Amino acid sequence: MLARAKFYLFVFLSLLVAHSYAQAPAILLAQIYHDDIQVQDYLVSEKLDGMRALWDGQQLTSRQGHPIHAPAWFTQAFPATPLDGELWLGRGQFETLLSTVRQTRPNDAAWRQVAYYVFELPDAKGDFSQRAQQIIQIVKQARSPYLKSLPQFRVKDRQALKRTLAQIVAKRGEGLMLHRADAPYLTGRSQVLLKLKPQLDAEAKVIAHVPGKGKYQGKMGALLVETPTGIQFKLGTGFSDAERAHPPPIGCQVTYTYRDVTNTGKPKFASFLRIRPSE
């Protein structure tokens, strides 16, 4: 009996570890926009405040490789072609979207408000301008109200780009994405994809809770976080009273906004935005 119990424990732990270390798919990640580029070389799209999702022809998965439990009817008309895109509910609706997507038992009524906006074709041939046209045709052929192509457009110059950004932000949009029109399909963090926002953002790992003082006595005063490059700093603004009472757990990833970095690489005017979804 003891040997059998040990065997089942081993199987359970193996499955748990396998789930925890789901293989994250290779995807293209953006660099920060900089003014020394020729904007005419790029196709521009709105930066959606949604959840990145990959479609392999049968299943939606997150950027970490975890399955997304969408209703069967949501993806029923999706093509067999692999797609890369964003699940989106609308501007300023990220928290509601996340609540919908993270449910293992999908809520049909909530999912009917969601759409999957496609902006890339993994491993497809041709440059990005050609792939963008292919996406339009794929979406048209699918005839699904839940599958959409993310509009891509060109701007004349840097001034037109900044005006477009201002218009998007005024409508509660997050920013813009610029993808080199002549780029082949690539993965990893690359200069062929740039993000332009009124504020920059990045992610860091929570490594400690710093106790609060004064009006925050007995609550969290700041998070001690560490960036992927090993830089540590305190993140002390942007929290609600509820978040200070129940702070993001140690070990989780958080997203923060900032304006610039110091000579040592630390972000200036860093402010907590949200916990990064783990699935």
Q: Which residues are catalytic?
A: 47
Distances in Å between the alpha carbon of 214 and those of 217, 228, 240, 269?
5, 32, 16, 21
Of 26, 33, 40, the C-alpha closest to 180 is 40
Between CA 231 and CA 264 the distance in angstroms is: 9
Distances in Å between the alpha carbon of 219 and those of 205, 216, 273?
20, 5, 18
- Residues 272/237, Cβ–Cβ less than 8 Å: yes
H or E segment to which residue 173 belongs: none
Q: Are strands 267-268 and 83-88 parallel, antiparallel or unpaired?
A: unpaired
